[in-house]
């Protein structure tokens, strides 16, 4: 026996020596992958939660009304009559295979005919309690199926634990930014080419500016023109001035910049596309393609609310129309819009509701009232409205992010003003000159 063992060991060692050219270069990558895995969760937490799920699924579905009763085959019951058939048995929706994620697991559930995802969503809290996990989120990737995203512990509690660009195993695309971490542990990616326009809402001190700072920090190294509109005198976006192609710090300046964008820059881009026979700038040859422009507005209300003067009303109306046109025309012409504000209700003016409908990406931080959460999420993800309202004072940077069809809780990367400023200075030399927006000197540069 000992002889067989030592021979086997010798063979394994010999193979390892012969094949070292193959495994040695891969060793560090394997080590890095293994080191990044949440082993305690995978080895202990995950099997325990899966057992609890399997064990309790039928009972849970019965008590919460998700199980349907399979009707038995029966005969008439009389005084001396036998009853044939199976006993009445609750049949729960089909629970699929639970796949582990970094912070929990995902599992698909096949609904019974006649059931809708809202029924599962209504009992998500009961599931979370029964499985002793932080949260169960419900989405519906296709008809008849719901996806349960289970998070074991709240990964968003560690304030400041998220770094800009963290989890950047994600392959970076132009115009995409990792701005924090989602509740399921995945990086929070804002990809402007997929969802071109975003609305960022939150009460004061909820984390809007920090979110904008992490977005700018991520976009700064990219060949992208950034246009800042900050009518609070440039207090927030002024930090990135070195990396901004244009910064408007009052409403009069903002109206002028937006006018130049929609009346000069966008029509010029249309002409370029038309003469090249293409439908958007992304089909132009790379060296002829104009820079994509990301317009960032901090505090939307400052653009919309007027002081009652004729001049003020005219500026507000101009800004409203220009933002709407920008949102409508922008995607094909490489202009993207990120708008932040405390409220986005119709009290700001008639144009704001139309603008909101164009902003397909939503980020909702802590809000002061239900109406604001409803305004920001109700049209896209009604199920997320209640969750946005649970974000507390002690959770700055925590938000609900939603695009059509999906939503999640998330926490933004904590980017200090100094870090953001440093990034803007470091990449300041990459700031494109937009000649039509900032007339004094400079020519339109190609990326
Ligand atoms: N992801 C985060 N993690 C931890 N702390 C955060 C996070 N985001 C923001 N904060 C903290 O919350 C506070 C408020 O952030 P921020 O200034 O971004 O809020 P705001 O919504 O822009 O406020 P205001 O509307 O008053 O400008 C700051 O002290 C900031 O450090």
Do residues 183 and 137 make contact, with C-beta atoms less than 8 angstroms apart?
Answer: yes
Nearest to 55 by CA among 130, 152, 145: 130
Instruction: State if residue 343 touches ligand 1 by the CB under 6 angstroms criterion.
Output: no
> Radius of gyration of the chain from Cα atoms?
28
Do residues 371 and 203 make contact, with C-beta atoms less than 8 angstroms apart?
Answer: no
Instruction: State if residue 161 touches ligand 1 by the CB under 6 angstroms criterion.
Output: no
Could you give the 3-state DSSP secondary structure of residue 446?
coil
For ligand 1, atom 30: residue with the closest CA: 207
Q: Given its phi and psi angles, is residue 79 left (phi above 0), alpha (psi -120 to 50 degrees) or beta?
A: alpha
Instruction: State if residue 159 touches ligand 1 by the CB under 6 angstroms criterion.
Output: yes
Nearest to 265 by CA among 286, 287, 241, 291: 291
What CATH number has the domain spanning 176-437?
Answer: 3.40.50.300
Kindly give the distance from the C-alpha atom of residue 388 to the centroid of ligand 1, in angstroms, as a whole number: 16
Kindly give the distance from the C-alpha atom of residue 396 to the centroid of ligand 1, in angstroms, as a whole number: 6
Residue 159: its pLDDT value, please?
52
Tell me whether the CATH fold assigned to 40-66+92-153 matches the one assigned to 176-437.
Answer: no
The answer on whether 250 is annotated among ligand-binding residues is no
Kindly give the distance from the C-alpha atom of residue 156 to the centroid of ligand 1, in angstroms, as a whole number: 15
Strand 176-182 versus strand 187-191 pairing type: antiparallel
The CA distances from residue 370 to 113, 267, 351, 366, in Å, are 34, 40, 22, 10
For the CA of 413, the closest atom of ligand 1 is 1
Kindly give the distance from the C-alpha atom of residue 223 to the centroid of ligand 1, in angstroms, as a whole number: 27
Tell me the whole-structure pTM to 2 decimals: 0.78
Place of tokens 């169960």: 136
Instruction: State if residue 235 touches ligand 1 by the CB under 6 angstroms criterion.
Output: no
Residue 57: its pLDDT value, please?
95
Going by C-beta distance under 8 Å and a sequence separation of 6 or more, which residues neighbour residue 445? 291, 432, 433
For the CA of 203, the closest atom of ligand 1 is 21
Q: Max Cα separation, the chain?
A: 102
What CATH number has the domain spanning 40-66+92-153?
Answer: 3.30.980.40
Could you give the 3-state DSSP secondary structure of residue 74?
coil
Instruction: State if residue 341 touches ligand 1 by the CB under 6 angstroms criterion.
Output: no
The answer on whether 205 is annotated among ligand-binding residues is yes
Round to whole Å and give the CA distance between 206 and 167.
23
Round to whole Å and give the CA distance between 219 and 214.
9
Residue 445: its pLDDT value, please?
45
166, 181, 188, 209: residue to mutate for ligand 1 pocket, most atoms within 8 A of CB: 209
Instruction: State if residue 205 touches ligand 1 by the CB under 6 angstroms criterion.
Output: yes
Q: Kindly list the domain boundaries of the chain, sorted by start residue.
A: 40-66+92-153, 176-437
Kindly give the distance from the C-alpha atom of residue 210 to the centroid of ligand 1, in angstroms, as a whole number: 5
Backbone angles phi, psi at 266, to 5 degrees: -65, -45
Q: Walk along the chain (447 residues) and give the pLDDT tens digit of each residue.
A: 778 888 999 999 999 888 888 888 877 777 766 666 778 888 889 999 999 999 999 999 999 999 988 766 655 566 676 666 666 778 999 999 999 988 889 999 999 999 999 899 899 999 999 999 988 988 888 899 999 999 888 877 765 455 555 444 555 789 999 999 888 778 899 999 999 999 999 999 999 999 999 999 999 999 999 999 998 888 889 999 999 999 999 889 999 999 999 999 999 999 999 999 999 999 999 888 999 999 999 989 888 887 778 888 888 889 999 999 999 999 999 999 999 999 887 777 778 888 999 999 999 999 988 888 898 888 888 878 888 998 988 889 999 998 877 888 899 988 888 888 899 999 999 999 888 876 544 444 444
Residue 441: its pLDDT value, please?
44
Residue 442: its pLDDT value, please?
43
The CA distances from residue 94 to 67, 125, 133, in Å, are 10, 19, 21
Residue 101: its pLDDT value, please?
86
Instruction: State if residue 160 touches ligand 1 by the CB under 6 angstroms criterion.
Output: yes
Q: What is the ipTM of this complex?
A: 0.97
Round to whole Å and give the CA distance between 204 and 7.
71
Round to whole Å and give the CA distance between 87 and 73.
9
205, 239, 299: residue to mutate for ligand 1 pocket, most atoms within 8 A of CB: 205
Residue 28: its pLDDT value, please?
75
Q: Interhelix angle for 310-333 vs 351-358, to 10°?
A: 20
117 token code pair: 């995802």
């Amino acid at each position: 026996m000992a002889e067989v063992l030592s021979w086997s060991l010798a063979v394994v060692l010999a193979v390892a020596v012969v094949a070292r050219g193959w495994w040695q270069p891969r060793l560090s990558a394997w080590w890095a992958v293994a080191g990044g895995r949440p082993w305690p969760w995978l080895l202990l937490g995950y099997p325990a939660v899966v057992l609890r799920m399997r064990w309790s699924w039928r009972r849970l579905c019965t008590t919460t009304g998700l199980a349907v009763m399979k009707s038995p085959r029966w005969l008439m019951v009389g005084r001396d009559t036998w009853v044939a058939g199976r006993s009445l048995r609750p049949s729960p929706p089909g629970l699929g295979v639970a796949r582990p994620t970094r912070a929990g697991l995902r599992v698909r559930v096949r609904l019974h005919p006649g059931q809708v995802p809202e029924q599962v969503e209504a009992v998500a809290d009961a599931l979370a309690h029964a499985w002793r996990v932080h949260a169960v989120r419900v989405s519906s990737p296709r008809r008849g199926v719901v996806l349960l995203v289970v998070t074991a512990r709240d990964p968003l509690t560690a304030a400041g634990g998220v770094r800009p660009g963290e989890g950047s195993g994600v392959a970076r695309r132009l115009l995409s930014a990792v701005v924090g971490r989602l509740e399921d542990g995945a990086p929070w990616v804002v990809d402007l080419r997929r969802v071109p326009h975003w609305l960022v809402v939150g009460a004061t001190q909820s984390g809007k500016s920090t979110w904008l700072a992490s977005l700018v920090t991520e976009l700064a190294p990219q060949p992208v023109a950034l246009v800042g509109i900050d009518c609070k005198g440039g207090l927030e976006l002024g930090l990135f001035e070195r990396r901004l192609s244009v910064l408007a710090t009052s409403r009069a300046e903002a109206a002028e910049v937006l006018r130049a964008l929609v009346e000069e820059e966008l029509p010029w881009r249309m002409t370029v596309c038309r003469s090249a026979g293409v439908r958007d700038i992304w089909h132009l040859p790379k060296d002829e393609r104009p820079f994509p422009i990301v317009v960032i507005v901090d505090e939307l209300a400052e653009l919309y609310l007027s002081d009652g003067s004729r001049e003020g009303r005219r500026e507000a109306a101009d800004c409203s129309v220009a933002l709407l046109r920008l949102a409508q025309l922008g995607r094909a012409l490489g202009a993207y819009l990120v708008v932040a504000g405390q409220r986005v209700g119709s009290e700001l003016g008639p144009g704001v509701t139309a603008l909101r409908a164009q902003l397909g990406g939503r980020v909702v931080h802590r809000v002061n009232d239900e109406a604001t959460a409803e305004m920001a999420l109700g049209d896209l993800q009604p199920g997320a409205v209640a969750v946005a309202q649970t974000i507390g004072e002690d959770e700055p940077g925590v938000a609900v992010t939603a695009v059509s069809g999906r939503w999640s809780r998330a926490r933004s990367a904590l980017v200090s003003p100094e870090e953001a400023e440093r990034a803007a200075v470091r990449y300041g030399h990459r700031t494109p000159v937009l000649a039509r927006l900032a007339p004094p000197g400079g020519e339109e540069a190609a990326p």
